[in-house]
Amino acid sequence: MPVQFDKTLELSSTSLLADPNLAAWTGCKLEVWIFDDLPSRQALKAALNSRGIKAEVYSAYKPLLHFFLENQSLQDIVRIEIHYPVHPAADRKRFLLEAYPLARMLRDKELVWIANEVQASQEHLQYLVNLTDRLGHSTRHVIDAPNQIFSDHFDQKSLCPTGLLRVTHRETGDVIHRAFFQTDIQQAYHQVMQWITAHPWGHTEPYFERMLIRIDIPGAERFDPEGTILSSTLEALHEDLYFSILEFFQHHSGRPSGDRGLQPGQIVPDIRMGSERVRIQIRLYPVGDALPGLNIDQDNELNPEAGFACAEDFADLQTMTRPIRATAVEHLLGKFDAKVFESTSRQARPVKSIVRAGSRPAIVLTGGQHANEPSGVVGALRGGHWLASVPDAHFALVPIENPDGYQLYQEYFALHAQHMHHAARYTGLGDDLEYREHAPWYERSARMHAVDVTGAQLHLSLHGYPAHEWTRPFSGYVPRGFELWSIPKGFFLIVRYQSAFKKLACAWLEKITAQIALIPGLSAFNAEQLKVYAAHAGGVPFEIHHGIACLLMQNDSQPTGVKLVTEFPDESVLGDAFQFAQQVQTETVRIACEAWWQLHESA
């Protein structure tokens, strides 16, 4: 497929070292904020120092987190007081959220957060940190958080982290030069969005079969001592581009912001670690085109099942520590003593489901609606296997509702195993299959058939959400429309009900949360996550039932009387954490089904 857009950008560090003003700053102190990783920033610092310039190079992305990661020995510190800025052009909790996950990293310290109101015109935003040691001695630190107000593709203004260069006289401390600048990663984001907004798209959905945005860029990724990801600018660029492009097409199509029925086509940011320069390429595959894998034009073939687990039998699922292969799911479905149904996705992949008749109240169990939420797929398979062991259980099972998204997720996983991969969330048409508005129904027909053939009034839909911070730093930092999901808050339940089922739904939720709270390890897990969430979000704006955050809401448009959406923070988790996630999903299926049957027996 011909490249529609091809652009090479110079690195921020290269541009700075070529700045003719450097000679005039010899003997001065130079401070610069960029989005590079620590080795790259140290290399730039060394290059500047070699020219007689005393330099410090900081991270423009999450500067407070990097301050603690890179500069402080906290062994003797007992109290940390952090004054975070509150800017009228941003969410009041923006900079408190940006400090995540310090509340978890510093949990053995007394940690105090204090909001510091600033004026709208004040561009010099800062965190003020007071550290107190065991002897009562205190030190004060100022951490700059460079931000500018940018206008996005809708002319909506957002306060965003940005590059900053500040030069001061070494002896007097006077500021000689101070200027914001767009770093290489910011330029990459804006170059793509400028092309998107200028392209003649027409007015018929879908606008393309796939839009592939390949960007090679020196990213900054940080991991904790156990190897778990703390932050990634590669992931942040993926997330911001994907949702910004969705927002553009919602606006272009005349739909309201956040409309999930939009079918633009499959939007695929492919962000990879580069080195010398930033390279941007955009390919458009017209509607109806066959789609290649993400290894396009690469010398080394990408194995989309790399790192994914296989399973020969259901017993293998109990110890699974990674997402499961789609081929393994199909293999296990064939082992059920039940009728198999098959529909077809937009990209012609099979959507397999099973139905088994019984005398108990019917239940529909689904996973993989959002294909980057992998614990629900394993939980649905294990939950379905348990249902099959219950005499007279009447149920339908669709373990992967969105196989096109799941295929893309497997390819992404082979590149970045710990990223969230929200571009694999929706279908090949680019919509959320639950919100599909009209035929052809493609993958949604599996769920529709399951509800229709069983007559079920209970739908268990297993989901996940980010296990680490979800950011959009190039459009305001906090993800628009998903603010409540920007940091994890433990295992979370959403119950939606038709008005006639309200009383039953409330009683059922109380019953199941009391039992789910007894799942080994879950109570402590939720308590820790809710504590950290409250510290960085300024509170917990949800009902808490037996230590589980819940949302209960009426929805008379849904086809079943009651629907449970489970939400485990599983996006990016591996190893024991993934095993725990799918175990909780499985146990929740069992608890929910048994409680549903018991309430009907006692009615």
pLDDT 10s digits, 423-437: 999 999 999 999 999
Record the tokens describing residue 185, joined without a space.
């990663």
Average pLDDT on 37-51 reads 96
Give the number of other Cβ atoms within 10 Å of residue 561's Cβ.
Answer: 18
Average confidence score pLDDT of the chain: 95
Average pLDDT on 348-354 reads 97
Which amino acid is it at 555?
N
Task: Give the three-state DSSP class for 469.
Answer: coil
Under a CB-based contact definition with an 8 Å cutoff, are residues 589 and 379 in contact?
yes
- 122 pLDDT band, cuts 50/70/90, is low
Locus of tokens 């190897």: 227
User: What is the model's pLDDT at position 303?
Assistant: 84
Residue 321 has pLDDT above 90, yes or no: yes
User: What is the model's pLDDT at position 302?
Assistant: 81
Residue 230 has pLDDT above 80, yes or no: yes
Record the tokens describing residue 335, joined without a space.
């082992």
Give the number of other Cβ atoms within 10 Å of residue 350's Cβ.
Answer: 15
Under a CB-based contact definition with an 8 Å cutoff, are residues 240 and 310 in contact?
no
Residue 23 has pLDDT above 80, yes or no: yes
- 496 pLDDT band, cuts 50/70/90, is very high
- Tell me which residue of 21, 70, 71, 30 sits closest to 48, measured CA to CA: 30
Residue 272 has pLDDT above 70, yes or no: yes
Under a CB-based contact definition with an 8 Å cutoff, are residues 185 and 52 in contact?
no
The β-bridge relationship of strands 147-151 and 157-161 is antiparallel
Residue 397 has pLDDT above 60, yes or no: yes
Query: pTM to 2 decimals?
Result: 0.96
Residue 120 has pLDDT above 60, yes or no: no
Give the number of other Cβ atoms within 10 Å of residue 199's Cβ.
Answer: 15
Locus of tokens 């599996």: 446
Average pLDDT on 506-527 reads 98
Give the number of other Cβ atoms within 10 Å of residue 125's Cβ.
Answer: 22
Start-to-end CA distance of the chain, whole Å, equals 61
- The C-alpha atoms of residue 506 and residue 510 are separated, in whole angstroms, by 6
Average pLDDT on 408-417 reads 95
Q: 334: buried, middle or exposed (CB in 10 Å: 19+, 13-18, 0-12)?
A: exposed
Which homologous superfamily does the CATH classification assign to the domain defined by 314-602? Zn peptidases (3.40.630.10)
- The C-alpha atoms of residue 589 and residue 460 are separated, in whole angstroms, by 7
User: What is the model's pLDDT at position 276?
Assistant: 86
Alpha-carbon 135 to chain mean position: 42
Average pLDDT on 90-99 reads 94
Residue 298 has pLDDT above 70, yes or no: no
Residue 300 has pLDDT above 90, yes or no: no
User: What is the model's pLDDT at position 488?
Assistant: 97
Residue 442 has pLDDT above 60, yes or no: yes
Average pLDDT on 344-360 reads 97
> Lowest-confidence range among 93-107, 112-126, 154-168, 242-256?
112-126
Q: Among residues of the chain, what percentage have pLDDT more than 70?
A: 98
- 119 pLDDT band, cuts 50/70/90, is low
Instruction: Tell me which H or E stretch contains 304.
Output: none
Average pLDDT on 112-125 reads 80
Task: Give the three-state DSSP class for 68.
Answer: helix
Residue 297 has pLDDT above 80, yes or no: no
Q: What residue ranges of the chain are covered by domains with CATH 3.40.630.10?
A: 314-602
- 299 pLDDT band, cuts 50/70/90, is low
- Tell me which residue of 511, 523, 491, 490 sits closest to 562, measured CA to CA: 511
- 295 pLDDT band, cuts 50/70/90, is confident
Backbone angles phi, psi at 24, to 5 degrees: -75, -15
Alpha-carbon 540 to chain mean position: 20
Report pLDDT digits (tens) over 467-477: 999 999 999 99
Residue 240's contacts (CB-CB under 8 Å, 6 or more residues apart) are 189, 471, 472, 473, 474, 475
User: What is the model's pLDDT at position 275?
Assistant: 80
- 72 pLDDT band, cuts 50/70/90, is confident
User: What is the model's pLDDT at position 2?
Assistant: 79
- 187 pLDDT band, cuts 50/70/90, is very high
